[in-house]
Amino acid sequence: MDYRYLNTINSPSDLKALPREALPEVCAELRDFIVSELSHNPGHLGSSLGVIELTVALHYVFDTPYDRLVWDVGHQAYAHKIITGRRDAFHTNRQFGGLAPFPTPAESEYDTCVSGHASNSISVALGMQVADSLLPESGAEGSSANRRRKVVAVIGDGAMTGGLAFEGLNNASMDKNDLLIVLNDNNMAIDPIKGGFTQYLVDLTTSPRYNKLRWWGYQALVKLHLMSDRKRAKLLRFNNNLKTTLTKQPNNIFQGLNIRYFGPSDGHDVIGLVRILSEIKNYKGPKVLHIVTQKGKGYAPAEADQTVWHAPGEFDVETGERFADKQSLNSQPATPTSPLWQEVFGQTLLELAEQDKRIMGVTPAMPSGCSMTIMQKQLPERVFDVGIAEGHAVTFSAGLAKEGAVPFCNIYSSFLQRAYDNIIHDVAIGKMHVVFCIDRAGIVGNDGATHHGLLDLAYLRPIPNIRIAAPMTATDLRQMMAMAVDMEGPIAIRYPRGRSKDRELPPVECGKAVCLRDRFTEGAKTVSLKEQRRVCVLSIGAIGNTVEEALNSRNELGGVGHYNMRWLKPLDTETVCTVAENYDTIVTVEDGMISGGLGSAVLETIDTRKVRVVRLGVDDRFVTHGSTAELMHMLGLDAEGIAESLIKLRVEC
């Protein structure tokens, strides 16, 4: 594209060389570039459009990368990537081998930390600020004026609902530091935000008396030529006091914590932002700049439906038509009618809840992502979107369970990592009857290392009292959810992103595996596999479908056995031992870390002197981003890879 300014910006210093008056056009060009790139290479659109002016202003005012910018969550950092030398590579964003989906220091010196999970920015940024102030050398290296670094945390009002953000704020108020926190308030997470803190921000921003007075006062001073840069700083301070009085909020939460508060300011006025940031950047002590923005700003369809356009998939820029169905959601070829796992969960939850008043839905800010919206629409009083607060979601569920409710607490696998001790301390020790529905288990695709759900089997298995199940089919999931209602203690059911598969299987029984093949039919003659073949696969979860595909794809694999374990805990040890007696080699297959998962459980169960165990899964590494199909291929966990491994093993037998 022929952009007047954007094509000349290869680093923030190119941006800084432009006159302030050029900045609105830079923003317009960035907006156009992001919309057109994302229309054919999907990503997080709405959040990035909302912070374009802020991004330009920050890089214009601060001396990055010497000064530190911490993005929270990093899905809003597309303009940042483009300004910091990644414009030409931006067409590879989120693709296999291409730019990372979220900021990562491995990719650029402008990315100060990994930021795929919400609410960490204040803590990380504060750590950087404090280290810089205590380590004498750090001020010298790379500094243009031998000065201390400035550190800025940019946090959304959604991310601000996370407990970690408040822990950071509390610490920022105690330790000596000059941290700047920019609170990007768009009144949205992925879904609309509810809760007291959001209402608090709304009150801060919408006091009509205050806003009117502020506007009149400012205009009058400008007209009388009484407004200079120096006076503006004083006015900012006066504003705070005026606001405190007029909004009847004597305890502005930030000021109450000894953190200076500025705003609310228009987050789409780039020149205004440059002015304010220039003024406050040298102020001593921790400070918050509260800006108000609109998610999806500047692209009408994204402004109109902010949830859908958070990550819309491919779309037609002119018409705003989305082509969501074109996306490859799963490595497994799906029949056109097969529902998403999320839809199966959402629909089943509603059906169960309609029959049983004890059932409640709990989600930490992902109601549409996990499809709890299906129940939310029908039974809103029994669905709780608790904010980006996974730990709280778990402990809150424990409280619900204590009083006789049956909470279905749905959390994405990688985000549940945030709540590990809550699971152990608040749920498992007391045997609370919480049903964890763990979404996005396994490889999730383009969101990459921060979002793959590869650790859950390994991190849940050592926890006493918990049951862990993984459905291979949509029917399995429905049955597991239904039986979980009347079980005791915690139950975790994990399933992947994308389209489900279905086939007829025997009903689910707790702790029982199901045999998918251990006899081999050749023409009319049925031969016992145990006599002929010596390799048997034990799989858990939806990857069992890929194993079936692998076994069906090659004649050489006609005699391999396959059991769908269904439960990691309690493990069907009887089946495992029987298989161990009847085969030479057991191959475990799981879409999770090899260490600690199904393979490890099997190894702990059998005598490895008698049978060989080969574990297929993810070895000791973080997995990069790319389509699910590409990543599963890379890991040798697609049908082709599994088939190859099995063929090799059979030859070796």
Ligand X SMILES: Cc1ncc(C[n+]2csc(CCOP(=O)(O)OP(=O)(O)O)c2C)c(N)n1
The answer to whether 340 touches 495, Cβ cutoff 8 Å, is no
Task: Return the residue matching tokens 């606001």.
Answer: 243
Q: Is 390 a catalytic residue?
A: yes
Q: By rule CB under 6 A, what string of x and - marks binding of each residue 373-412 to ligand X?
A: ---------------x-x----------------------
Instruction: Report the residue from 260, 392, 418, 494 that binds ligand X according to the rule CB under 6 A.
Output: 418
Task: Considering the candidates 418, 501, 566, 615, report the single residue annotated as catalytic.
Answer: 418
Contacting ligand X within 284-303 (CB under 6 A): 295
CB within 8 Å of 543: residues ≥ 6 apart: 442, 589, 590, 591, 637
Q: Is 574 a catalytic residue?
A: no
Instruction: Report the residue from 60, 345, 415, 583 that binds ligand X according to the rule CB under 6 A.
Output: 415
Residues linked to residue 154 through DSSP beta bridges, in sequence order: 71, 182
Task: Using DSSP, state whether 612 is helix, strand or coil.
Answer: strand
Residue 75 lies near ligand X (rule: CB under 6 A): yes
Q: Is 418 a catalytic residue?
A: yes
Q: C-beta of 125: minimal distance to ligand X in Å?
A: 15
Residue 149 lies near ligand X (rule: CB under 6 A): no
Q: Which two tokens stand for residue 246?
A: 């007029």
Contacting ligand X within 556-615 (CB under 6 A): none
Among 181-189, 332-340, 485-493, 553-561, which window interacts with ligand X (CB under 6 A)? 181-189
Measured from the CB atom, the residue of 47 and 645 that comes closer to ligand X is: 47
DSSP assignment of 277-289 equals HHHHTT-SS-EEE
Measured from the CB atom, the residue of 295 and 497 that comes closer to ligand X is: 295
Rounded to whole angstroms, how far apart are CA atoms 648 and 556?
A: 10
Instruction: Report the residue from 23, 35, 43, 47 that binds ligand X according to the rule CB under 6 A.
Output: 47
Among 155-163, 231-239, 438-446, 571-579, which window interacts with ligand X (CB under 6 A)? 155-163
Residue 371 lies near ligand X (rule: CB under 6 A): no
Rounded to whole angstroms, how far apart are CA atoms 625 and 648?
A: 28
CB within 8 Å of 435: residues ≥ 6 apart: 406, 407, 408, 409, 481, 484, 485, 490, 491, 493
Residue 188 lies near ligand X (rule: CB under 6 A): yes
Residues linked to residue 538 through DSSP beta bridges, in sequence order: 563, 588
Instruction: Report the residue from 104, 121, 129, 186 that binds ligand X according to the rule CB under 6 A.
Output: 186
Measured from the CB atom, the residue of 418 and 497 that comes closer to ligand X is: 418
Q: C-beta of 343: minimal distance to ligand X in Å?
A: 19
**Shortest CA distance to 391 belongs to which of 345, 361, 426, 429?**
426
**525-528 and 519-522 beta bridge pairing:** antiparallel
Q: Report phi then psi at 165, rounded to 5.
A: -65, -40
Rounded to whole angstroms, how far apart are CA atoms 30 and 32?
A: 5
Rounded to whole angstroms, how far apart are CA atoms 290 and 255?
A: 12
Which helix (H) or strand (E) segment holds residue 618: the answer is: strand 612-618
Buried b (16+ CB within 10 A) or exposed e, 95-122: bbebbbbbbbeeebebbbbbbbbbbbbb
The answer to whether 61 touches 112, Cβ cutoff 8 Å, is no
Measured from the CB atom, the residue of 74 and 544 that comes closer to ligand X is: 74
Residue 157 lies near ligand X (rule: CB under 6 A): yes
Q: C-beta of 632: minimal distance to ligand X in Å?
A: 23
Residue 53 lies near ligand X (rule: CB under 6 A): no
Instruction: Report the residue from 365, 375, 437, 576 that binds ligand X according to the rule CB under 6 A.
Output: 365
Measured from the CB atom, the residue of 31 and 534 that comes closer to ligand X is: 31
Q: C-beta of 634: minimal distance to ligand X in Å?
A: 24
Give the angle 630-631-636 at the CA atoms, nearest 5°. Answer: 100
Residue 626 lies near ligand X (rule: CB under 6 A): no
- Can you say how many angstroms the Cα of residue 205 is from the centroid of all Cα atoms in its chain? 28
Q: By rule CB under 6 A, what string of x and - marks binding of each residue 190-209 to ligand X?
A: x-------------------
Contacting ligand X within 117-136 (CB under 6 A): 117-118
Q: C-beta of 309: minimal distance to ligand X in Å?
A: 11
> How many residues line the site for ligand X (CB under 6 A)?
21
Instruction: Report the residue from 158, 496, 592, 617 that binds ligand X according to the rule CB under 6 A.
Output: 158
The answer to whether 34 touches 79, Cβ cutoff 8 Å, is yes
Q: C-beta of 37: minimal distance to ligand X in Å?
A: 18
Among 73-81, 315-323, 491-499, 574-582, which window interacts with ligand X (CB under 6 A)? 73-81
The answer to whether 229 touches 279, Cβ cutoff 8 Å, is yes
Measured from the CB atom, the residue of 82 and 529 that comes closer to ligand X is: 82
Buried b (16+ CB within 10 A) or exposed e, 276-304: bbbbbbeeeebbbbbbbbbbbbbbebbbe
Residue 159 lies near ligand X (rule: CB under 6 A): yes
Measured from the CB atom, the residue of 340 and 560 that comes closer to ligand X is: 340
Q: C-beta of 505: minimal distance to ligand X in Å?
A: 33
Instruction: Report the residue from 56, 57, 73, 423 that binds ligand X according to the rule CB under 6 A.
Output: 73
SS3 readout for 307-356: CHHHCCCCECCCCCCECHHHCCCCCCCCCCCCCEHHHHHHHHHHHHHHHC
Task: Return the residue matching tokens 């330790």.
Answer: 175
Among 187-195, 398-406, 511-519, 534-542, which window interacts with ligand X (CB under 6 A)? 187-195
Q: C-beta of 192: minimal distance to ligand X in Å?
A: 10
Task: Considering the candidates 68, 295, 297, 497, report the single residue annotated as catalytic.
Answer: 295
Among 185-193, 332-340, 425-433, 526-534, which window interacts with ligand X (CB under 6 A)? 185-193
Which helix (H) or strand (E) segment holds residue 151: the answer is: strand 151-156
Residue 76 lies near ligand X (rule: CB under 6 A): yes
Exposed, middle or buried: residue 34 (CB in 10 Å: 0-12, 13-18, 19+)?
buried
Residues linked to residue 616 through DSSP beta bridges, in sequence order: 589
Instruction: Report the residue from 43, 50, 101, 559 that binds ligand X according to the rule CB under 6 A.
Output: 50
Among 182-190, 206-214, 559-567, 593-601, which window interacts with ligand X (CB under 6 A)? 182-190
Residues linked to residue 526 through DSSP beta bridges, in sequence order: 521
Q: C-beta of 342: minimal distance to ligand X in Å?
A: 14
Task: Considering the candidates 29, 37, 53, 390, report the single residue annotated as catalytic.
Answer: 390
Q: Which residues bind ligand X (CB under 6 A)?
A: 47, 50, 73, 75-76, 117-118, 156-159, 186, 188-190, 295, 365, 388, 390, 415, 418
Residues known to be catalytic? 295, 390, 418
